[in-house]
Structure 1
Amino acid sequence: MTTEIAIIGAGIAGLSVASELAEHRGTGEGILVLEAERDVAMHTSSRSAQQLIPSYGPEPVLELTRWSIARLLEAGSDLAAPLAWPSPFVVAGSPEDVAAMTVPGLKEISGGELFELCPELRGNPQRFRTAAVDESAVRTDATALVAWHRERALAAGVEIRTNSRVTNVRRAGDLWELTLDAAPQETVRAATVVNAAGAWADEVGALFGAVPQGLQPLRRTAALVSLAEPMPPEHPMVDDAAEDWYYRPDAAGAMISLGEAEPSEPCDAQPHEGAVAGLIATIERETSLRITGVVKAWTGLRTERPSDVPVCGWDPVAAGMFWLAGQGGYGFQTSAALARAAAELVLRGEVGDWLSPATRDALAPDGSPDQSATPR
């Protein structure tokens, strides 16, 4: 079959750009999303901390996050349930560690004010001497957000195919010819291919002969746990400034995470033996939270670029192949802005002035002169 735009990967990146492209074009017809797994969002996009933090990341990520949060808050106002809602983020520890972990301008609290906000830290005043609070942070429901993009895309006429891994690519005139590992085997032809393959994006890029972007998957382990005494739902997410483990309230009790960044090959990552037990021991030692059981544990892969800024733009060598990857730990919190930027670049060849020139340039693939070049 032949389509105008093929998107490889149906995580938050692939689905959000599919729905955004459909909105910009006025139709989703001619857009095909190819997902290797049996369902969408089965890897990192289903293993999110679900906290969007405007003070987390380098400056281009902060700009993308601010725009994305505003977009999700606006879009959610017309839905039965919001896509995002206010939920403060607290980084607690020594003054030196907190300063190293945060950007200037956040609200600073200590002593009684900190322990009133986070009473579980009260018994460890030497470790948690001060904190920075990002009151502009929001919580999201990752499953609902993925479903929203999927439903928007499908309603507009986008086709989403699962169990459709791209195994081979060749150039056929002005089109890319993608061979799918499907039953029966099929070939898809497209003038434009968006590489939104997450941890596998550099491997997919290699099939096209694209410039490698140095994408490195990094492990991050988390769990949902039950608590002897539940935290109130409005309790902030708390990050330990010294060691970067963190937790937040959840309907199950709490979501807890090691906060590690261990390099990995692209894979369906699973927690190392003893990792969650060690994290539970740390949290119970350093706070008054008492964990009564593990509901679910997982490890996601946060795939980062060396610059720690996502890549969003045309490959400088593989004509018609577009990068949308390297979101790292900022995937959900930058998804709306990256989807809009990608849609504008794919359809118009440039990003509007809603995004600063510095951020536009930071998003450009390695080897690209700028983001004003249209696809060849």
Structure 2
Amino acid sequence: MSTTRVEHLIIGGGVAGVSLAAHLAERERAAHERADVLLLEAEPILAHHTSGRSAQQLIPSYGPDAVRELTRLTLEELDRTQAELAHPVVWPSGFLMAGTEEQVAAGASEAMRRISLDELAQLAPELRIERFEAAGLDTTAVRSNAPRLIHWHAERARSAGAQLRTGARVTGIEPRPAGDGFEVSVQTETGTERIHARVVVNAAGAWADHVASLAGAAPLELTPLRRTAAVVTLAEPLAPEHPLLDRADEAYYYRPEGEHLLISPSEAVPSPAEDAQPILAEVEAVIELIRQDTTLQIGPVQRAWTGLRTESPDGVPVVGPDPEVPGLFWLAGQSGYGFQTCSALARVATDLLVDGAVGDWCPAWAAQALDPRRFPLAR
């Protein structure tokens, strides 16, 4: 059995792993004229699980302080770099919240402007306004094209010399003697392969704790949470500029999806790490709620899907070296913020992997908030 040798092995081909492959390979090529980066994805395609099931709405005012700062940095980078693309990967698209006074006050961020019910009716004329007391509008939110963003990161990674392999499932990670990296066992269609990696990056999403255990590391108690979405038909389409409408009690959200409507029950139900599937009865229940709150004439479900938003104990992503297993590096726990923080997290991870410290482009407090050592279980 032959053994492949690589400097950096990334496990997981979602948006976290692919964006890191791009940033890390570009950094290595600039410094050494070659990149020594290999990404392994267990599924036949990249972004098969959570990253391929995104609602594609990025809300900079959403999440803990560190997430909001990393989102700002990510959007700044995307704005700078997407000018080279034929089609944008992100563009402005408002976020509207409606509910009771108490619910909106609790859910509104600093970026959200309170609006009157008359303004709400203008922005979302399908609403039965009598069912709501208050509303807020966040004009900093943006839409994204998730497949295009994944493809862009993947092409950048390949152009810089990184290898991205699908259908390659990691089944074992054995530390080598004297801290000489890891022997990684990989199952493919043609059999078992061995890879000698100096550094293993754990970007395995819902499977991150499992991957860590293969390397002998303590789990960080990451929790996969279900989040379902569906596309339904409409008798009359909403205007393309219609903002995403979120009911403030988190019962549902919806937004236009071409001539159809994308809807979600906004659930956050713990789940095992698995290929999650939608529960159609829950989708039908959300459709009924939306019918009660609006005049929308909703037709059949065109498609539905469920992803797993893997959350850390404090809701902040985990990026940095494992405190007990040398050579193991965490890039996990994005908690549903994966797309909106992808570029900044990839830069943080690249700085730590190459330089051992994060550059001053990122506030020190935001970088420190990501450190795996903040969890007692990791000490």
Name which of structure 1's ranges 321-330 and 269-278 shifts more when overlaid on structure 2. 269-278
Pairwise CA distance, 1:347: 0.6
The answer for the alignment partner of 2:256 in structure 1 is 249
- In 2, distance between residues paired with 1:211 and 1:66? 32
The answer for the alignment partner of 1:34 in structure 2 is 40
The answer for the alignment partner of 1:321 in structure 2 is 328
The structure 1 residue matched to 2:139, chosen from 135, 149, 152, is 135
- In 1, distance between residues paired with 2:285 and 2:49? 24
Contact 2:25–2:36 (CA under 8 A) maintained in structure 1: no
Alignment of 1:190 with 2:197, yes or no, is: yes
The answer for the alignment partner of 1:149 in structure 2 is 153
Contact 1:223–1:297 (CA under 8 A) maintained in structure 2: yes
The answer for the alignment partner of 2:237 in structure 1 is 230
The structure 2 residue matched to 1:261, chosen from 265, 268, 275, is 268
Letter of the 1:298 counterpart: W
Post-superposition CA distance 1:305-349 (Å, at most 9, x none): 011000000000110111000001111011111011111111101
Pairwise CA distance, 1:102: 2.1
- Kindly tell me: are residues 89 and 28 of structure 1, through their superposed partners in 2, closer, same or farther at Cα, counting changes over 3 Å? farther
The structure 2 residue matched to 1:158, chosen from 159, 162, 182, is 162
Pairwise CA distance, 1:181: 1.2
Pairwise CA distance, 1:367: 5.3
The answer for the alignment partner of 2:214 in structure 1 is 207
Contact 2:11–2:17 (CA under 8 A) maintained in structure 1: yes
Secondary structure, counterpart of 1:352 in structure 2: coil
Pairwise CA distance, 1:252: 4.5
Secondary structure, counterpart of 2:159 in structure 1: helix
The answer for the alignment partner of 1:18 in structure 2 is 21
- In 1, distance between residues paired with 2:284 and 2:143? 26
Contact 1:170–1:178 (CA under 8 A) maintained in structure 2: yes
Moved over 6 A (4+): none
Secondary structure, counterpart of 2:326 in structure 1: coil
Alignment of 1:4 with 2:7, yes or no, is: yes
* Structure 1: segments with no counterpart, 5+ residues: 370-376
Letter of the 1:73 counterpart: D
Aligned sequence identity (%): 50
Question: What TM-score comes out, normalization by structure 2 length?
Answer: 0.94
Post-superposition CA distance 1:353-376 (Å, at most 9, x none): 22222211110003579xxxxxxx
- Kindly tell me: are residues 136 and 273 of structure 1, through their superposed partners in 2, closer, same or farther at Cα, counting changes over 3 Å? closer
The answer for the alignment partner of 2:55 in structure 1 is 49
- Kindly tell me: are residues 256 and 28 of structure 1, through their superposed partners in 2, closer, same or farther at Cα, counting changes over 3 Å? farther
Name which of structure 1's ranges 95-104 and 340-349 shifts more when overlaid on structure 2. 95-104
Secondary structure, counterpart of 1:366 in structure 2: helix
- In 2, distance between residues paired with 1:23 and 1:95? 49
Letter of the 2:21 counterpart: A
Task: Count how many residue pairs are aligned between Structure 1 and Structure 2.
Answer: 367
- In 1, distance between residues paired with 2:175 and 2:47? 28
Contact 2:111–2:138 (CA under 8 A) maintained in structure 1: no
Contact 2:220–2:375 (CA under 8 A) maintained in structure 1: no
Letter of the 1:199 counterpart: A
Contact 1:44–1:301 (CA under 8 A) maintained in structure 2: yes
* Structure 2: segments with no counterpart, 5+ residues: none
Pairwise CA distance, 1:272: 1.7
Post-superposition CA distance 1:80-106 (Å, at most 9, x none): 101100001111111210111122352
Letter of the 1:153 counterpart: A
- In 1, distance between residues paired with 2:23 and 2:279? 37
